[in-house]
Amino acid sequence: MLNIILFGPPGSGKGTQAKLLEKRFNLVHISTGDLFRYEIGHHTPLGQKAKSYIDKGLLVPDEVTIGMLQNKVEKHSDAAGFIFDGFPRTLPQAEALDAFLAQKHSQIDGLLMLEVDDDEILKRILNRGKTSGRSDDNNEAIIRNRIKVFNEQTAPIFDYYAQKNKSFKINGIGSIEEIADRLAQKVRELSEETTT
């Protein structure tokens, strides 16, 4: 089993690239945004709990997010591996993910960080905002704050996995295909390491 965290600031192209990797390597793509929409849309107990926080503008607690993630992993017990997109966002989430995978005699094999500078991210998100229907994609101040939150709260996860020699930086600038090829090359290397 091959487990990858696709990592990077908002607008770095994680969602697009995760879908391409999913097809290329037959992995299951787990996006926390999709998980929330599914659980809330299907009125599951975890979905109802998450909605109660979201409706108040609060962050969904880790145990709720992790519960959803565990449900998704359990549903795909025969998967060749997983791509985690948008998770973990904090060190406690990274530790909880490691503990959960360890129970399944598995682990994170690599964190692949898409490196994109702040100006390019801003340009991409504003461009996405023309069609995404998300009001937060059209406000430069909100976008800059999302980047700041990522740098302060989420970026330390790179160091957490780097201490285990599992963090890798991938150039996130170029065409979708060029970036996909760079990521695929690294995934192939990781895949070879897990089978030897």
The pLDDT value recorded for residue 196 is 66
The pLDDT value recorded for residue 158 is 94
Q: What CA–CA distance (Å, rounded) separates 58 from 7? A: 23
Nearest to 160 by CA among 113, 101, 105, 100: 113
* Per annotation, catalytic residue among 37, 104, 134, 148: 134
Q: Residue holding tokens 């895949």?
A: 191
Q: How far is CA 64 from the centre of its chain?
A: 16
Q: Residue 189: which CATH number? A: 3.40.50.300
The pLDDT value recorded for residue 48 is 93
Active site residue 182: no
pTM over the 0.85 mark: yes
pLDDT under 50 in the chain at which residues? none
* Per annotation, catalytic residue among 51, 128, 144, 182: 128
Q: What is the DSSP string of 45-109?
A: HHHHHHHHHHTTTPPPPHHHHHHHHHHHHHHTTT-SEEEEES---SHHHHHHHHHHHHHTT----
The pLDDT value recorded for residue 113 is 95
Asked if 25 and 81 touch (Cβ cutoff 8 Å), the reply is yes
Active site residue 24: no
The pLDDT value recorded for residue 60 is 84
**Entry field: residues in the chain:** 196
The pLDDT value recorded for residue 86 is 82
* Per annotation, catalytic residue among 49, 89, 124, 166: 89
Q: What CA–CA distance (Å, rounded) separates 42 from 121? A: 33
Nearest to 182 by CA among 61, 12, 44, 47: 12
The pLDDT value recorded for residue 55 is 82
Domain limits for position 46: 2-195
Token pair belonging to 63: 């145990």
The pLDDT value recorded for residue 59 is 76
Domain count, the chain: 1
Q: Is the dihedral of CA 59, 65, 20, 174 positive or negative?
A: positive
Active site residue 14: yes
* Per annotation, catalytic residue among 14, 49, 124, 166: 14
Asked if 106 and 97 touch (Cβ cutoff 8 Å), the reply is no
